[in-house]
Structure 1
């Protein structure tokens, strides 16, 4: 009898599964990117500390990972999903309770005038309504809870990667504005000096009114640009502080120009590698696994349900005799429930589960396409920015030489001051644009790092 009971228990605990077999949908993207890999490019993933080697930026990212409220919510979502999985997993094992009862009553015996008072004590170990999972309903619900728990972990990884990328982008944006502001201050000082010189020459009759007004216009234009950049730099600093949860962190002592800041070029690899690299894709796949498990639970609802209630205990008239001279007893009460009519509820639940799976498949495929586009866009932008920066460097160098020649010509008296002022204005604009392109180069590197899935923090549970 004992082997039979153990066999039934094993069958109940394991059960069969009616869930569809999980198959990863085919990736609806090309087999490779249009932009080929370049020699010397590092293969992702890289730890963010190795990729972002600026100490000031590392301090900001570290603070963001420790203090950001959105990331904290994502971490709490993991705890929530883990608890729900624990609750659902416990349903696969019987719940064993100890119970104690006491009753006291008065009864009149037939043919007697008096009454009798009786007391009863009972202690028992009870298993109440344990479902024998022959058709895998409980197992499917547990599998769904596990998949959602793993999906929450991947969501936290995705949120972490997004926060690192957002912090780096905000940092480079702030650095760019600060560098443009320093350039504007230098240009403003130069233009104010030029205005004083032009005013003296105008007072001496050596400069035209047009030259004087042009010098005044350039000074006021620099002041307006400085005011706008000051406003934008303040907003960028606030955005960076919000991401890090700390508005008091320093930006670094006299940081080097953005032109000297470099991030390791990354090799994109193959689009199929994104399925295991990117946490958002692993999250979408876990959602698909959960949808499959929900279908298994919905299918199991069409089959009989067997629940077992049993207890074993002892009964006595006196408490002192309960565990020594009491009367032992047990009960075994299985219950079979077969669905006959429920107004189409089971069929509707199955249809709902299947529809949600179709939604999960579509979302998964959409996530893959979005991931492919993220990488392809970043690669295309990287190549375009490289050419654009090289062209803009030549423009800047040409403007520098032009200004030097204009000042020499003016000093020799072979050119008017308008030519010098125009050269100063053109150089300022080309240098500003060069700084902005350097910022876009660094942000593009951040975008590619994020699009490729960032770093590998060990074996993913989604795998």
Structure 2
């Protein structure tokens, strides 16, 4: 068989095999969720949150710079990026099986025969030199087994990319929430310190009044109790702020510069825009975790094609061409050319049901991935629905807390005036102080919840990966 004819056979096999695959046609499962969120009308004109970059969503320059630092230094995100590189390399290895591996070799074979094995009765040494180039056991992919495995590796690689995007989305939200929590706890700390200083002055005045016989021991102890409670709160929030800063540093992956720490929570809240609720639930299919689940489903679907192809014959080719000679100087001389062509066909006949079991495993794994994909969409829908449910009442809660603080401040002012004029007892004044302090704490907590809700909605709708 001439080299030209051999090449023609190989190319024909390539063209014939390039059109065949036993992988089932992929169909995306229908999303098992309603078309719109509970209590919200769908609108195709609403901005898709996944297309809003985090630099555009978070307006505070300190928070933007902090998120950028975390994306560059966070170790979990770095591991996700390395996982992508590993999956890409695995795909390249699997894809390489689609092409023949061509190897070149130069070798010598030397053999000594004793005299009783030679015709001359004398020991001889036979030498053979060769230089060849060729391919070894290259499988002709007539039934798409190798292409199915390559497709599976590709989808696995793409799934790791989606996992990395999902890790970035989570990191952006975690950094924003940690930054907002730090702002809230710093504000609570300052409130506790201010209240402690005010209560210290009040206790000092009450003690002087007690020593002068104008106040009772009960009033003195009540004033001391209120002061010590504020003191304990100040110490507790000081420790909490330190823990918040440590948590933020861990997320960022490097010490956080002091100029990037948040100011007052109210300033941080007003820098976050609101998201529209009229986005159809179909946008969930663009979330990185949902796309990752779909990529894994595609990979499982491709595995079925490889398992089906294993039932059919495998044809592999081993071929080489080169030169050979018994002497080194004649290795490239005229007439020293050599070639070999070894086609091989392997047909499974009996394997005790192993191939059938392998196909069953692939099909069951596909069904498992379908269930995982549907669950990912359902979980995403619930997260968005919960966020929208919280947002529906947070505005009212925030307004109510503001009104409560205003009313508590007025009640405290009136109680203080009545106490100074001798109309009310000190107990009424202390009660008004405690009510005002609790209302101010609750207002900070609701402000944090409202800001965190905006961050959460941005995350669960797929934003933050750009």
* TM-score over 0.5 for the pair: yes
259 and 380 in structure 1: CA distance in 2 versus 1, 3 angstrom threshold: farther
28 and 378 in structure 1: CA distance in 2 versus 1, 3 angstrom threshold: same
| Contact 1:155–1:283 (CA under 8 A) maintained in structure 2 | yes
Give the aligned partner of residue 370 of structure 2.
361
346 and 254 in structure 1: CA distance in 2 versus 1, 3 angstrom threshold: closer
Equivalent of 1:6 in 11, 14, 36:
11
Q: Does 1:34 align with 2:30?
A: no
SS of the aligned residue for 1:266 comes to coil
**Aligned-partner Cα distance in 2 for 1:129–1:38:** 58
Q: After TM superposition, give the deviation of residue 240 of structure 1 in Å.
A: 1.2
Deviations 1:102-143 (A, max 9, x none): 123355697645455443211111210000000000000000
Greater mean deviation of Cα atoms: 315-324 or 381-390: 315-324
Q: Does 1:231 align with 2:239?
A: yes
SS of the aligned residue for 1:329 comes to strand
SS of the aligned residue for 1:206 comes to coil
| Contact 1:37–1:267 (CA under 8 A) maintained in structure 2 | no
**Aligned-partner Cα distance in 2 for 1:103–1:58:** 69
Taking only aligned residues, the RMSD between alpha carbons, in angstroms, comes to: 2.1
Q: After TM superposition, give the deviation of residue 456 of structure 1 in Å.
A: 5.6
**Aligned-partner Cα distance in 2 for 1:154–1:23:** 20
**Aligned-partner Cα distance in 2 for 1:111–1:215:** 122
SS of the aligned residue for 2:258 comes to coil
Deviations 1:131-166 (A, max 9, x none): 000000000000000000000000000011111111
Greater mean deviation of Cα atoms: 44-53 or 214-223: 44-53
| Contact 1:298–1:349 (CA under 8 A) maintained in structure 2 | yes
Q: After TM superposition, give the deviation of residue 452 of structure 1 in Å.
A: 0.5
199 and 367 in structure 1: CA distance in 2 versus 1, 3 angstrom threshold: same
1:195-234 pair list within 5 angstroms? 195-234=203-242
Q: Does 1:139 align with 2:147?
A: yes
Greater mean deviation of Cα atoms: 156-165 or 119-128: 119-128
Equivalent of 2:361 in 327, 343, 352:
352
SS of the aligned residue for 1:125 comes to strand
Equivalent of 1:274 in 281, 284, 304:
284
Greater mean deviation of Cα atoms: 298-307 or 117-126: 117-126
| Contact 1:309–1:333 (CA under 8 A) maintained in structure 2 | yes
**Aligned-partner Cα distance in 1 for 2:217–2:264:** 41
1:291-370 pair list within 5 angstroms? 291-370=300-379
SS of the aligned residue for 2:352 comes to coil
**Aligned-partner Cα distance in 2 for 1:424–1:243:** 38
1:66-215 pair list within 5 angstroms? 66-106=72-112, 112-114=120-122, 116-215=124-223
86 and 240 in structure 1: CA distance in 2 versus 1, 3 angstrom threshold: same
How many pairs are equivalent? 455
15 and 342 in structure 1: CA distance in 2 versus 1, 3 angstrom threshold: farther
Deviations 1:349-375 (A, max 9, x none): 111111111110000000000000010
**Aligned-partner Cα distance in 2 for 1:360–1:110:** 69
Greater mean deviation of Cα atoms: 85-94 or 52-61: 52-61
**Aligned-partner Cα distance in 1 for 2:347–2:265:** 75
Give the aligned partner of residue 460 of structure 2.
451
Give the aligned partner of residue 423 of structure 2.
414
**Aligned-partner Cα distance in 1 for 2:101–2:260:** 59
| Contact 1:399–1:427 (CA under 8 A) maintained in structure 2 | yes
| Contact 2:172–2:464 (CA under 8 A) maintained in structure 1 | no
SS of the aligned residue for 1:396 comes to helix
1:384-423 pair list within 5 angstroms? 384-423=393-432
Deviations 1:327-363 (A, max 9, x none): 2121111111100011111011111111111110000
**Aligned-partner Cα distance in 1 for 2:316–2:93:** 19
Equivalent of 1:440 in 438, 449, 453:
449
| Contact 1:407–1:420 (CA under 8 A) maintained in structure 2 | yes
| Contact 1:140–1:297 (CA under 8 A) maintained in structure 2 | yes
Q: Does 1:245 align with 2:253?
A: yes
| Contact 1:126–1:311 (CA under 8 A) maintained in structure 2 | yes
Unaligned ranges ≥5, structure 1:
458-463
SS of the aligned residue for 1:29 comes to coil
| Contact 2:163–2:289 (CA under 8 A) maintained in structure 1 | yes
TM-score, length-scaled by structure 1: 0.93
**Aligned-partner Cα distance in 1 for 2:146–2:436:** 72
**Aligned-partner Cα distance in 2 for 1:152–1:253:** 33
Q: After TM superposition, give the deviation of residue 289 of structure 1 in Å.
A: 0.4
Greater mean deviation of Cα atoms: 258-267 or 21-30: 258-267
7 and 428 in structure 1: CA distance in 2 versus 1, 3 angstrom threshold: same
